[in-house]
C-alpha cells in the first residue's frame, strides 16, 4: 500500500520534532482525517503503528499454518480448494500489511527477522493446535469472526496505508467466516460423531477467540492513546461484547452450545452477559508458552531459510538481465 513518495522515510526513520508538522498532525487527527506517509508524525505514533501493523502482518502469515496443516486432509476436493483459497488470502493479507508497515520506514527484512527470532509478537490465537477438521470450521467462524469485529473499525484508522489495507482485507475476510460457519453447520447436522466433533472444537476455541480482543480495558494501558490517535475506534471490552452478541444467536442456528454457563441475555443492558476469561492463560500463550508457539516459529524460520536460494536466484537473474540489456543498449 505504499505510495511513491513514502520512501524518504526508509533512510530516515528518526522523527525530528517539527512544530509546524505537529500542529498539522494534531489538526488532521482532530478533524478525523487521514495521516499519509509523507506527513510529519510523532515518533510514538509511528512506533505504535509499526508495532500494530507488523504484528498484524505476522499474524496473517503465521495464521496460514494451522489451516495449511489441513489442506491435504480436507474431506473433499471442494473443501480443499476453499481452504487453499483462504490460506492464499492470508498470505495476501500479510503482504498488504507488510507494505503498509514499510511506509513507516521499517524494512521488510527487519520485520521478518524480528518474527523468526521470536522478538516480534503475533496473535496468540495461532498458538493453539488444530487437531480436528472441525477446527477449520471454528477458526473461520470464531477466529475470523473475531478478527472481522476488530478489523472493520480499523478501516477508519487514522493512518491511510493501514486503513486502505484493512478495507481490502475486510472485503475478503467475510468469505472466511462464512465458509467456517458452513463447515460447522454441516458437521452439526451430520452424524452423532460429527456433531460431537463440532461441539468439542467450539468448546476449545470459544475462550481463546474472545481473548483475541486483548485484555480488559482496565488492563490495557495503551488503548487510550491509540483511541486518541484514531487508530483504535472502540475499546477491547466494547468489541468483545459486540462479538458475543453476534455469536450467541449464530450458535443457536448452528445447533451448538458455547462453553460458558454465564451467557445470559441481559434485558437492562441490551447485551448478553458472559463469564470471566482466564487471562493467566492468555499471558502464558502470549509469552510464548502456548501449546504451539515453538512449532509455528520453527516452521516459519525453516520456510524462510529454505526459501533463501529462491530469493537469491531471482535477484541474480534480474541482475544478469539488467546487465545484458545495458550491454545491448551500449552496443
Residues that bind other proteins (CB under 8 A): 1-5, 7-8, 10-11, 36, 38-39, 85, 88-89, 92, 95-96, 99, 102, 107-110, 164-165, 168, 172, 311, 314-315, 317-318, 321-322
Question: Which residue's C-alpha cell is 494501558?
Answer: 221
CB of 318 to other proteins, least distance (A): 4
CB of 9 to other proteins, least distance (A): 10
State the Cα–Cα distance between residues 207 and 324, nearest whole angstrom. Answer: 58
CB of 307 to other proteins, least distance (A): 13
| 127, 293 Cβ separation under 8 angstroms | yes
Nearer to other proteins, 107 or 291 (CB): 107
CB of 286 to other proteins, least distance (A): 29
State the Cα–Cα distance between residues 249 and 253, nearest whole angstrom. Answer: 7
Nearer to other proteins, 7 or 248 (CB): 7
Nearer to other proteins, 1 or 183 (CB): 1
Question: Which residue's C-alpha cell is 516452521?
Answer: 299
Question: How many DSSP H helices and E strands does the chain contain?
Answer: 14, 2
CB contact set of 59 (below 8 Å; sequence gap of 6+): 122, 123, 125, 126
Nearer to other proteins, 156 or 168 (CB): 168
Terminal CA-CA length for the chain? 39
Q: Is the dihedral of CA 138, 141, 142, 148 positive or negative?
A: positive
Nearer to other proteins, 227 or 318 (CB): 318
Question: Which residue's C-alpha cell is 545484458?
Answer: 324
CB of 296 to other proteins, least distance (A): 23
DSSP secondary structure code for residue 155 in this structure: T
Amino acid at each position: 500500500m505504499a505510495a511513491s513518495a513514502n520512501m524518504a522515510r526508509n533512510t530516515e526513520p528518526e522523527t525530528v520534532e517539527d512544530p509546524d508538522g505537529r500542529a498539522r498532525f494534531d489538526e488532521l487527527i482532530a478533524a478525523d482525517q487521514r495521516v499519509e506517509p509523507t506527513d510529519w508524525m510523532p515518533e510514538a505514533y509511528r512506533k505504535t503503528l509499526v508495532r500494530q501493523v507488523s504484528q498484524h502482518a505476522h499474524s496473517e502469515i503465521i495464521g496460514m499454518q494451522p489451516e495449511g496443516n489441513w489442506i491435504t486432509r480436507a474431506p473433499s476436493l471442494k473443501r480443499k480448494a476453499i481452504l487453499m483459497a483462504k490460506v492464499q488470502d492470508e498470505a495476501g493479507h500479510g503482504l498488504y500489511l507488510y507494505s503498509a508497515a514499510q511506509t513507516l520506514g521499517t524494512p521488510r527484512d527487519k520485520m521478518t527477522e524480528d518474527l523468526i527470532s521470536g522478538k516480534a509478537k503475533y496473535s496468540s490465537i495461532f498458538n493453539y493446535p488444530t487437531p480436528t477438521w472441525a477446527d477449520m470450521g471454528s477458526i473461520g467462524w470464531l477466529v475470523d469472526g473475531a478478527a472481522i469485529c476488530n478489523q472493520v473499525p480499523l478501516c477508519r484508522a487514522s493512518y491511510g496505508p493501514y486503513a486502505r489495507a484493512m478495507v481490502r482485507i475486510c472485503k475478503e475476510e467475510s468469505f472466511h467466516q462464512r465458509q467456517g460457519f458452513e463447515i460447522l453447520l454441516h458437521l452439526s447436522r451430520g452424524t452423532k460423531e460429527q456433531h460431537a466433533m463440532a461441539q468439542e472444537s467450539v468448546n476449545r476455541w470459544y475462550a481463546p477467540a474472545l481473548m483475541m480482543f486483548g485484555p480488559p480495558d482496565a488492563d490495557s494501558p495503551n488503548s487510550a492513546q491509540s483511541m486518541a490517535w484514531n487508530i483504535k475506534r472502540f475499546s477491547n471490552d466494547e468489541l468483545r461484547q459486540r462479538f458475543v452478541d453476534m455469536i450467541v444467536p449464530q450458535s443457536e442456528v448452528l445447533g451448538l452450545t458455547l462453553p460458558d454457563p454465564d451467557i445470559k441475555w441481559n434485558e437492562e443492558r441490551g447485551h448478553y452477559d458472559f463469564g470471566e476469561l482466564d487471562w493467566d492463560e492468555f499471558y502464558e500463550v502470549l509469552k510464548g508458552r502456548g501449546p504451539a508457539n515453538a512449532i509455528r516459529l520453527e516452521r516459519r524460520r525453516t520456510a524462510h531459510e529454505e526459501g533463501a536460494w529462491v530469493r537469491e536466484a531471482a535477484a541474480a537473474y534480474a541482475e544478469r538481465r539488467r546487465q545484458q540489456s545495458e550491454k545491448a543498449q551500449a552496443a
